[in-house]
Structure 1
Amino acid sequence: MNTAGIDWEAYLSRTRWFGGKGRPFRVGDVRQLAELSDGVDDLRATVYLVTVEYSDDEGGSERYQVPLSSYDEPQDRIAYAFVGSVETDSGLRHVYDGVHDRAAMRIWLEGFVDAEQTGTAERGGLRFHRVAGTTLDPELVPSPLTGEQSNSSLRFDDTAIMKVFRKVSPGVNPDIEIHEVLTRGGSADIAALFGWVEIDLDGGEGVLQLAMIQQFLRTATDGFELATGSVRTLLADLELSVEESGGDFAGEAARLGEALAAVHLMLRESFPVESRGADSTSELAGQMIARLEQAARIVPEIEPYGDRLRAAYNAVCELGRLDVQRVHGDLHLGQTLRTTEGWKLVDFEGEPGRPFAERVLPDSPWRDVAGMLRSFDYAARVVELSAVGADEPEAALRAQRAREWSARARRHFLEGYVASLGEDAGSESERGVLLDAYVADKAVYEAVYEKRNRPTWIGIPLAALERIGTR
């Protein structure tokens, strides 16, 4: 379909998932990847690969997957998702955002159903894969979810959820790769993978993975929301200690640590594991120091902690060894769900800004642990900072209780994790060095982010940096 009638720049700018907002850009190449039809009415479900080129100092380009649907007649039911009208050989076509079109997304569901018996099915140029032993009802009703940013998701009743990747690049998506391995391994700590969609790009670029469908966790509660709710309960009665309060999160934190350990152990069994030498620890320390120096130019408030942070990074060099494996790569409470069956880890894509080739590299599992420790700290401090109208003594007690909640949650999470790993956790001194370094590295990143986006929150990472080297 000719898309000359679509104002791509305007369309991208108003979507939630476009990552280039605020940057000058133009749409370059628009490539049609696939076209699917339901065989009943005039619906065409088309998938495009759109290249965005930036003209600021940072420059560069990105590619986005854009599923569209088009009809001969306007569709009032999805008028809110209207993209534009285009002239075709058969007349005017009315174009809509395909993710918001139930009829279009039902065709994707049919592709997954077709693949159930053989494991793979072709439809409209797309290749649908299924994990054996899973079943999908073709009558499931798709509904787009709101609130997401970097990707788009649809819920199929209470059975499945499909994540449509927006910013894409050739190669194996780690979210699919890890979920497949953990699902086939019988992990109880994730939402099981049902299948995924991919296509081979022309020109020898390789495979492009477009979407994944997995178990919908009907009873799930977002981990960060659960943690902040716990802090609010604690701070509602400041006379009670954390242990006495109904807001104690220690048990949940310990169980979350156990879940992460189980996932890390299964990843160790399923992917290559390396024990790297002194060159690796020196390189890691050098990278952390470079990030610190760059951050200090943006956040001068970091500099008073500079000597202690450099000492924490240099201590990594002295270890002389670094054990690495596949990890989550971007772990925090927002990447966890609490269900009636326990904690589940989600979104194994890794850091969104990094290319796949970097995201799939082995890393220290302590990076995941550090990310979660920082997230507990954020949960406590965000609730504390949201309080208004407290006098000075009450504000001081509120801050103390928040620190106690964070320290207790972090301690129990770490204890649960280490106990579950057993001998694989290494020595206490070694993990102490690595955790200090990774926590500091994460807090330095947070300080830059808060300085640029939420300057009133910069005290959260700065307080963490102040604690480094004081154990």
Structure 2
Amino acid sequence: MDSQVDNNQQLTLIKLQQWNDIVEDKEIKGKLQNEILPNYVTKMRWFGGKGHALKSIQIIDYVILPFTDLDSAYHLLLEISYHDGSPDIYHLPIAYSPIDVSSELQKNYSQSIISLINIDNKEGLLYDALYDRRSQQVLATNLANNCTIKQKSGELVFTSTPNLKRYVHEQLNSTSKILITEESNTSIIYDQDFFLKIYRNVDRSINSDVEINQFLNNETTFRHIPKYVGSIQRQFGKETIVLGMIQEYISCISDGWIYILERLDDFSLNILSHTDITSINKELRGSLTNPLDYEEIPEDLKKLFDKTTSKLISLLGHRTGQMHQALSSNNELSSFYPEKYSVDDQHSLFSSIHSLIETVFQNLKENLQKLPEDVQEEAKEILSMKNELIRILERISSREINVTKTRIHGDYHLAQVLFTGDNFLIVDFEGEPAIHFTERRAKHSPLKDVAGMIHSFHYAAYRSLFLNPQRKSEDINILLPFIQLWFHYISGFFIKSYLDTTKDAPFIPNNKQDIQILLETFLLQKAVYELNYELNYRLDWIIVPLKGIKSIIEQNRLGQIC
């Protein structure tokens, strides 16, 4: 959820003669940019620049979205610059509410409140307009009617399929609510029929989320995604910034992350209530390139692993393979047709990960004293393994791997799949938030997505062990070998199903050694990236990526990863 604005904190007051002064008056705009917005934006969960030192915020553009003839919201485009790194563009809709009618905002959505505001001696609140039901309904209506709203420069363009228009015209008393569990974006649900995602971090380039959803819906038979309905775009000249995308709402039990954490709790309880855990076979059978399915694991382990869960993880592997087959199925569209994965690509991958290791390990050294003592020892051990990590990495540039590269999901993990009870649907094709928008559209080996999901299993496993507030400390050592067992076999179920689904696909190497090299390289990249993320944002989680890196090294010594 977005960071909550403390109701007791002193909000800044901004005085206007009229509402449009917020964007037209130079002095007021300056106060907004220099004082109010930096204080608000940097506290929001959707702001991804917390690891950088903020330099400035500039309102580079805005569009007017009328509520009525007398009232409107301004959708601001903010260029946020840092003392290090390239600037970002963020999308922040703002509106005004008189203080006497804003009790719901103050009570339920305090995180939406930006500042106090006084317009012609009338007190009120300046707030994020997405939390206003009027704004939510206006967005849906404009989408349904395929409206184009002229601006001072360019247009605000709404497009959608006819089924949204039918919904808006038939559901006269439709309800909408904001989804407060989002992180990088903000979404609105309409009557459990439609799901509108408003992008926060935006760019003057093609949005890969919209592009891939349109492609999969229109050019392939892959249907394990929410159906694409339409988009909101800011157009000026030849440039376009995508502000939002609407899809059909999918009723689900949970996302994959929550589902797996619940299954891990069941697994741990099963272990702790077992009459004789010493008798359980803890041998890790199978490997990264020779994984086992549920029916092949030892009989005593079948009693520990829930068969339904195991089969569903295999289904997830199958859906992942189907997604990759669909993304590689078009030989006509230049942005989607498969290309050769070249030696240059391999060398580039080596260089980027090598540079990442150098940067992250330096960051780890500098933050070592901030870590708890027991975690410090883990971190020192990982620092001592740096050369071994690089030797593992060097294999990616030591031989040519004859495969194709395609468009991929790009940020594939358990939270990017919805669990419906008997199926998984894949969402959020925006790509890795830490890289530039144009790079998110680059083609890669689909095994990068596979490694992302394996890494997510690992994160869930160790998070359930070390970061579960209900876990007794004396149980951790008992559970540790079994959590390793769980990760090994669950990852195996996923990989086996995936490789069976994609057998003979040109993006899968025809020999197991090359599969192993690619997977290990991408697993290493993901683990080091996550280590850096936790160093910058969540030091209390750092034990998890440390365990991930250690696992890669230890399993590599044994000739297997999973």
TM-score (norm 1): 0.89
Indicate the residue corresponding to 1:272 in structure 2: 337
Deviations 1:82-125 (A, max 9, x none): 4346677998885331110011121110111102xxxxx31353
Cα distance in 1, alignment partners of residues 513 and 217 from structure 2:
34
CA distance in 2, matches of 1:284, 1:39: 53
* Aligned counterpart, 2:448: 367
More displaced stretch, 460-469 vs 261-270 = 460-469
Q: Confirm or deny that 1:444 pairs with 2:528.
A: yes
- Give the structure 2 partner of residue 109 of structure 1: 140
Q: Residues 311-351 of structure 1, C-alpha deviation per residue, up to 9 Å, x if partnerless?
A: 33222221344521100111111111111451011111111
Give secondary structure in 1 for the equivalent of 2:246.
Answer: strand
Q: Are 1:285 and 2:350 counterparts? A: yes
- The equivalent of 2:204 in structure 1 is 170
Q: Contact conserved, 2:416 with 2:428, CA < 8 A, in 1?
A: yes
Contact 1:43 1:71 (8 Å CA) reproduced: no
> Cα distance, 1:377 vs. partner?
1.3
Verify the 8 A CA contact 2:256 2:417 in the aligned structure 1.
Answer: yes
Greater Cα offset, 437-446 or 349-358:
437-446
SS of aligned partner of 2:328: helix
What letter is aligned with 1:112?
L
Does 2:459 correspond to 1:378? yes
Distance in 1, Cα, partners of 2:410 & 2:54: 29
Contact 1:443 1:464 in 2 (8 A): no
In structure 1, distance between residues paired with 2:546 and 2:269: 23
Name the stretch that deviates more: 294-303 or 100-109.
294-303
Q: Structure 1 residues 470 and 297 mapped into 2: Cα distance closer, same or farther (>3 Å)?
A: farther
Q: Give the residue type in structure 1 aligned to 2:392.
A: A
Give the match's secondary structure for 1:319. Answer: coil
Sort the Cα spacing of 1:29 and 1:153 in 2 relative to 1 into closer, same or farther, 3 A: same
| Residue aligning to 2:363 | 298
Q: 1:245 and 2:304 equivalent?
A: yes
* 3-state SS of paired residue (1:163): strand
In the TM superposition, what is the alpha-carbon distance from 1:223 to its structure 2 partner? 0.4
- Per the alignment, do residues 311 and 28 of structure 1 end up closer, same or farther by CA in structure 2, a change over 3 Å counting? closer
In structure 2, distance between residues paired with 1:89 and 1:451: 47
- 1:259 and 2:339 correspond: no
Unpaired runs of at least 5, structure 2: 1-19, 23-27, 278-299, 331-335, 365-379
- Whether the 8 Å contact between 1:52 and 1:61 is mirrored in structure 2 is yes
1:219 aligned to which of 252, 265, 273: 252
> Equivalent of 1:431, from 495, 515, 520?
515
2:392 paired with 1:312? yes
More off after superposition, 45-54 vs 68-77 = 68-77
Q: Which residue among 310, 330, 338 is the counterpart of 2:411? A: 330
The residue correspondences of 1:153-232 to structure 2 (distance < 5 A) are 153-184=187-218, 185-201=220-236, 206-232=239-265
Take 2:545 and 2:477, find their aligned partners in 1: how far apart are those partners? 18
Residue identity over aligned pairs, in percent, reads 22
The 1:54–1:283 alpha-carbon spacing in structure 2 relative to 1, beyond 3 Å, is: closer
Asked whether the equivalents of residues 465 and 471 of structure 2 are also in contact (C-alpha less than 8 Å), the reply is: no
Per-residue deviation, 1:193: 1.3
Task: Return closer, same or farther for 1:53/1:444 CA change in 2, 3 Å cut-off.
Answer: closer
Cα displacement (A) at 1:242: 4.4
Residue number in structure 1 paired with 2:266 = 233
The one of 79, 82, 95 equivalent to 1:69 is 95
From 114, 118, 122, the equivalent of 1:83 is: 114
Q: Distance in 1 between matches of 2:81 and 2:255?
A: 35
Greater Cα shift, 449-458 or 193-202: 449-458
Aligned length: 459
Within 1, Cα distance between the matches of 2:156 and 2:542? 45
What is the RMSD of the two structures over their aligned residues, measured on CA atoms?
Answer: 2.7
How far did 1:145 drift? Answer: 1.0
Task: Return the alpha-carbon distance in structure 1 between the equivalents of residues 113 and 472 of structure 2.
Answer: 45
TM-superposed CA distance for 1:169, in Å, is 1.1
In the alignment, is the contact (CA less than 8 A) between 2:195 and 2:246 conserved in 1? yes
Distance 1:22 1:269, change over 3 A: closer
* SS of residue in 2 equivalent to 1:260: helix
Counterpart for residue 17 of structure 1? 46
| Residue 35 (structure 1) aligned with residue 64 (structure 2) | yes
Query: Is the contact made by 2:520 and 2:552 (CA closer than 8 Å) also made in structure 1?
Result: no
Mark the CA change 1:292 to 1:369 in structure 2 (over 3 Å): closer, same or farther: same
Aligned residue in 2 for 1:50: 78
